[in-house]
Chain A
């Protein structure tokens, strides 16, 4: 399980936690998010995310 950071706004997507409030269950890998998925904070596309090591 990995974390991903949106380089535009700093939002962190944690694969282990998912985004249950947005219908994304815990354990969902970033690569399995829909292609048109957007950052819930700033609306940037998936391409704006990079692996994050906290």
Chain B
């Protein structure tokens, strides 16, 4: 396959970069620095995909229309079904922001942006603040607790569920739906694993179809997120049911499973750097910059983004063949010394112009402001309630899910709160 394209190809294998290795997941820095130094772009023989590592190339690739997030362009993608055989997942996928042509994509972003814009998201603050309060009330005042269990598994999915109007008692149902939506298009999973995930999404899509039907039957669809999508107009353009479902899908993929890591890595970063925590406490107006920097510094990704070549393309001095998969290794790029000479330093005041923390170009993270609001509320509340918190035993007794599909997922991060000391001092 692609014999004519392999001459002069820079290649690596699992001995250079093995994202499944527990050693890599625990301590990825050395591997990333080797990739950045020696392999800004390379074909990975074991993964059968390109791996793009440097900040410059990752940024260029994300803005290059020859490379699409459309999973169906992948040379190993399952064949598209006949129209009559398609289920809701297929229809929603056909309408998704990752699949539609660039012109339709821009139309959909125009129609949906009012619902996602910074001013609207600032108002989300009021809608999810009680969720943050409830989460910390549930934690109470223990001497020690696990950030992953108590915060990271709760807040992201509850926030998204609240935003799209899912009742609180359906949280588990929504969580399973969200996870399977993410799993259903991961190129690093086996076909039968993806198909299981597809089937598991169908009850969720039926639930949301019913919600949309009920809203459309009202005189006014409502002022909330779902209502604003139903009411969205741009000239003669509007969103149909599958468009709206695809936006919900985008919100879920961007904001629930991925945001789990925001909470653990943000607190890990701050607790490991008390000077930065103190600075943030004194200057809460720097929260947004701090969150981006905490994500950059923590760099939680294992398989961050994928793109698929829509045509044969020369890129970064390499010949990429149509249909090949490309891992956009943003986790490495965020630590690229060419972009950040002091990449290993956490600095909440860092100038982050041109950062790729939420991607770049046409598919820039649609939920970026929601994540920032959610993360900001959580960090402020954590600092207020546990001003003397430290990582337990120095590293929080940290543990990872070594088989997670895309993240170096922290599954245990314990803090000692020192609440008794705090109360005594007060």
Contact = CB atoms under 8 A, between A and B. Distances in A.
Interface of A: 5, 7-12, 22, 40-44, 48, 50, 52, 54
Given A22-B353, A42-B361, A43-B360, A7 B118 contact: no
B361 A12 contact: no
B20 interface: no
Given A5-B113, A22-B353, A50-B110, A10 B358 contact: no
A52 B110 CA distance: 11
B353 A42 contact: no
A22 B59 CA distance: 19
B362 interface: yes
Nearest to B113: A7
A15 B365 CA distance: 25
- Number of chain B interface residues as a range: 20 to 34
Nearest to A48: B106
B109 A8 contact: yes
B359 interface: yes
Contacts of B359: 42
A21 to B, nearest CB: 8
Nearest to A52: B117
Contact of A5 (B117, B353, B361, B362): B117
B109 A7 contact: yes
Contacts, number: 48
A10 B63 contact: no
Contacts of A5: 113, 117
A42 B113 contact: no
A22 B113 CA distance: 24
11 contacts: A7-B113, A8-B113, A8-B362, A10-B118, A11-B118, A12-B119, A42-B361, A42-B364, A43-B59, A43-B63, A50-B110
A41 B83 CA distance: 39
Given A40-B353, A50-B110, A10 B361 contact: no
Contacts of A9: 358, 364-365, 368
Nearest to A9: B364
A52 B369 CA distance: 17
Contacts of B118: 10-12
Contact of B106 (A7, A11, A43, A52): A7
B362 A10 contact: no
B116 interface: yes
A10 B353 contact: no
A54 B120 CA distance: 9
Contacts of A44: 361-362, 364
Nearest to A12: B118
B91 to A, nearest CB: 25
A21 B241 CA distance: 42
Interface in B11-59: 59
A44 B34 CA distance: 31
